[in-house]
Amino acid sequence: MRLKEVLRGKVPPDLLDLVPASFDIVGSRGRAVAILELDDRLVPYGELIAEELMRMHKSVRAVYRKASERKGDYRVRELELLAGEPVTEVLHKEHGYLLKLDISKVYFSPREATERQRVASKVRPGETVMVMFAGVGPYAVAIAKAQPLVAQIIAIEINPEAYRYLVENVHLNKLEGKITPVLGDVREKAPAFRRCCDRVVMPLPKGAYMFLDEAIDCLAGRGVIHFYYWGAEGRAFEEGYELVRRAAEKHGCLSELLETRVVSPYAPRVYKVAIDVLVNCGEAAR
């Protein structure tokens, strides 16, 4: 039964349509938390809504309301506890691997699990992969688990808290020697890996284009960039690819659009999209 139906008769009828149809559940093994977006008109009923949600999902120990947009370089948001225990650190299970994280200190989206698996499935044996904006390691761990013959995964993260969890998740999933965690700004750390990568993953939809120079510089002559972008319906793919194409052209490289995919809605008629681009620089272009 959907949350809206459970709340029928418990919140005013004119507010029922404002009850969120979807929400994020992060965590597993009986220690999960739910995060939802609540219209201001529903805030007085927040505790009731949260308690009903916990009755529907027995593993959920706490329900939080999004109290701000994501902000800053660390991409974290303020959260308000509506009901339950003040739990923020959880162990999240995804496609057979584990991710430990604190929802109040790091960026993580359980809704992108399918996209992570899609990217992981593209990696071939012997590849060296860079994951920029690596967070607690969901892309890096997904790739290492899906392709055990990957040569190396370089995971760069600027948030010290997320980096700490990244290191812990590498250990938790027994991936030492496969994933190399790097703490710092991509602009400062990526140059150390110039011309050594077969693939670069850029899971930062807002502003990833500002790091395309670093991504292209890290490619070993020819490689794939998984680029993410927020854009309006009907224009997002074209705009995103054009950003990559222009960056490649500036470096004297050719580009070829391989695949596009809508990852998730962001706002009305605005979507987060994935754009896979083959960039071919060759030795002459270097």
Residue that is written with structure tokens 């995804």 in the block: 94
* Percent of the chain residues past pLDDT 70, beyond the cut: 98
Is 263 exposed, middle or buried (CB count within 10 Å of its CB: 0-12, 13-18, 19+)? Answer: buried
**Average pLDDT, whole number, for the chain?**
95
Query: What pLDDT score was predicted for residue 284?
Result: 42
Please give the Cα distance from 35 to 62 (Å, whole number).
9
Which has the closest alpha carbon to 42: 14, 73, 63? Answer: 14
pLDDT digits (tens, 9 = 90+) for 75-114: 899 999 999 999 999 999 999 999 999 999 999 999 999 9
Domain 107-280, what fold? Rossmann fold (3.40.50)
Query: What pLDDT score was predicted for residue 283?
Result: 54
Query: What pLDDT score was predicted for residue 186?
Result: 97
| Domains of the chain by residue range | 3-87, 107-280
Which superfamily is assigned to 3-87 in CATH?
Met-10+ protein-like domains (3.30.300.110)
- Are the C-beta atoms of 122 and 150 separated by less than 8 Å? no
pLDDT digits (tens, 9 = 90+) for 50-64: 999 999 999 999 999
Please give the Cα distance from 105 to 76 (Å, whole number).
6
Q: Which two tokens stand for residue 216?
A: 């292209």
Please give the Cα distance from 23 to 36 (Å, whole number).
5
The phi and psi torsions of 136 (rounded to 5 degrees) equal -85, 0
Q: Which two tokens stand for residue 186?
A: 């991509």
Strands of the sheet with 128-131, listed across from one edge: 179-183, 152-157, 128-131, 197-202, 219-232, 270-280, 254-267
Q: Do 3-87 and 107-280 agree at the fold level?
A: no
Start-to-end Cα distance in the chain: 59
